[in-house]
Amino acid sequence: MTQTQDTIRLTTAQAIIRWLSNQFIEVDGQEMRVCGGGFGIFGHGNVTCLGEALYGVQDELPLYRGQNEQSMGFAAAGYAKQWLRQRFMFCTASAGPGTTNLLTSAALAHANRLPMLLLCGDTFVTRLPDPVLQQMENFNDPTFGVNDAFKPVVRYWDRITHPAQVIQSLPAAIATMLDPADCGPAFLGLPQDVQGWTYDYPTVFFEKKVHRIRRQAPDTDEVADAIATLRAAKRPMIIAGGGVQYSRAIAELTAFAEAHQIPVVETIAGRANMLATHPLNIGPIGVTGSNSANAIAERADVIVAVGTRLQDFTTGSWTAFAKDAQFISVNAARHDAAKHRSLPIVGDAKLSLAAMTEMLDYTAPADWVAFAQDERRAWDVYVAQNVSHGNRPNSYAQAIGVVNDLCDPRDRVVAAAGGLPAEVTANWRTLDIGTVDVEFGFSCMGYEISGAWGARIAQFEQEPKNDTIVFIGDGSYMMLNSDIYSSVLSQKKLIILVLDNGGFAVINKLQNNTGNESFNNLITDCPTIPDPFGVDFEAHAASQGAIAETVSNPSQLGEAFTRAKASDRTHVIVMKVDAYDGWTTEGHAWWEVGTPHITDSDRVRDAHKEVESSRTKQRKGV
């Protein structure tokens, strides 16, 4: 290493890591590194140069050894969620399949608007040794490689072909990741030769920098238009999305709702914006929502959507609302604020809600609020019955109820694709703010354990006495479970509930509900499996170092969960649940799925007609 007064000679890899270790952010008055470290699997595309650079900063940027690149990305997403997008982790992977394994997790981060830095190996810029190990050759364009596949699933993409380029690229990447309007993953392709090339970098480039996340003030005219519309509302409601938490606007949301007595419903990403006991919390909305939230949604005339991208599970594929309902969309991202003829308020949720509260002299009609609260009370009665256990088959809802009764209010609950997101969304009663992560932005099976591991790393930095609790089905478990081992190795305890219904039972339910016969979803319904058998999940989890036990019913589950709470190591509890009985049958909105327009099956034909019968309620984007 050569250094003068104004420059320092470093490799490209060394420069990247030195710069990252000097980037800070202020969180609640405390300065900390904006990058909490990284997840890495080394190979020939990153170990010799990037690995060399990381070795010297193990305290500043701790590197967690992953078991699978996709799961590393999920862990980085879980970490960013827990930190409310104020901090991020990097993922580093070798060239070739190591890097392409990150595609799915990049897409998850993109859909969920989460920061994640991908530092991925690439082929040689000189092309002298081509074709190299794991290189995907494009016959007509030698500059086009597998790393170009990341362009649709990241918010910032660059391939570093000269060491000087990081002077521009690194600040651009971090600006993207910390921008509320454009937040998402950033990708840097690092050719193997360029990683080791040197450059005389200006020393000022590595000076400590403290970042702050921008809060964009709303346009006064947009706020005024929204206020004028709200003043005339007879049946207003608020949809609270995940963006409320990311902008740290919980207090402003609550103050706005209370000041004007406007009922609030939550999206899947917005679960835990309000406590279950708040009198204006009318429940989760949409396809996997509640009767109460959907009842007011279909009657509301003015809908204030805050921090939500209005995904189909929220909107019931745009059948959940009256066709003439007027949306007011508060969002830092213009793209989301302008959907479905909304009156947009493009700006930070915290500032926008505060401005609206100050300007609005209005209270919702008392009979409208009373109607919403009556609906919520009825829904609470249903949930209490749904989670109760007695002389009936084991169900997801029962397991959720057991954990809900026994967990600490600040414990974090994690679920993802499959049947559990619907069951958690509908049946979980929020005990504290910001304690639920149901990954349904990309609906990605396999996120549960890995995302929880990342969340637990972040939680350890914030409130280590609390637990991270995972609800996972057997199908998702089989897809990606190796971070049980990661959690044990890193001493980041998880409590994992494996609820085994014998396959992909929720898709089997969709299959049956659309008139189709059970086929290729439950293990017992696969024609290519002559002798079906179940996995010994207890033994499998124990082989990865976890404490593991199997229980037979919800009462035993409660006893096991109490033991897991007292444990200092990852604890896996396995319980079989029924594949057909015990699903939450209430609270659903219509969901558009493609069904056959012609078929030889009477059942499929009848189901198609039933599905299409609700299409008349669908808004057409205006």
Give pLDDT tens digits for 156-202: 999 999 999 999 999 999 999 999 999 999 999 999 999 999 999 99
Among 357, 378, 399, which residue terminates a domain? 378
- C-beta of residue 190 within 8 angstroms of C-beta of residue 50: yes
Within 8 A by CB and 6+ apart from 315, the residues are 286, 321, 589
**DSSP element (H, E) containing 160:** none
Residue 331 lies in a domain: yes
Are 292 and 194 in a shared domain? no
**DSSP element (H, E) containing 284:** strand 281-284
Q: Reduce the DSSP state of residue 211 to 3 states and report it.
A: strand
Q: Nearest 5°: CA angle at 110, between 108 and 114?
A: 90
Residue 587 lies in a domain: no
Are 184 and 226 in a shared domain? no
Within 8 A by CB and 6+ apart from 7, the residues are 200, 201, 202, 203
Q: Which residue has the tokens 């989670």?
A: 387
Residue 526 lies in a domain: yes
Are 72 and 133 in a shared domain? yes
Residue 520 lies in a domain: yes
Instruction: Domain count for the chain, please give it.
Output: 4
From the centroid of its chain, how far is CA 363?
A: 34
- C-beta of residue 417 within 8 angstroms of C-beta of residue 474: no
Among 174, 193, 211, which residue terminates a domain? 211
Are 352 and 423 in a shared domain? no
Are 187 and 244 in a shared domain? no
Are 307 and 399 in a shared domain? no
Are 348 and 404 in a shared domain? no
Are 303 and 348 in a shared domain? yes
398: containing domain:
388-576
Are 374 and 484 in a shared domain? no
Helices (H), 360-491: 366-387, 396-406, 420-427, 447-462, 474-479, 483-489
Considering the chain, what is the average pLDDT of its residues? Answer: 96
Token code pair at residue 69: 């690149």
pLDDT of res. 136: 87
Residue 383 lies in a domain: no
pLDDT of res. 201: 98
Are 171 and 240 in a shared domain? no
CATH number of the structural domain spanning residue 564 = 3.40.50.970
Distances (CA, A) of 9 to 47, 206, 208: 20, 12, 18
Are 185 and 227 in a shared domain? no
CATH number of the structural domain spanning residue 314 = 3.40.50.1220
pLDDT of res. 133: 87
Q: How far apart are CA 515 and CA 29, in angstroms?
A: 57
Q: Which residue has the tokens 């007509």?
A: 140
Q: Walk across the sheet containing 23-27 and list its strands.
A: 30-33, 23-27, 209-211
Residue 2 lies in a domain: no
Are 200 and 299 in a shared domain? no
Report, in angstroms and rounded to the nearest whole number, the Rg of the chain calculated over CA atoms: 25
Residue 30 lies in a domain: yes
Among 344, 360, 378, which residue terminates a domain? 378
**Position 536, amino acid:** D
Which regions of the chain are under pLDDT 50? none
pLDDT of res. 134: 86
Residue 422 lies in a domain: yes
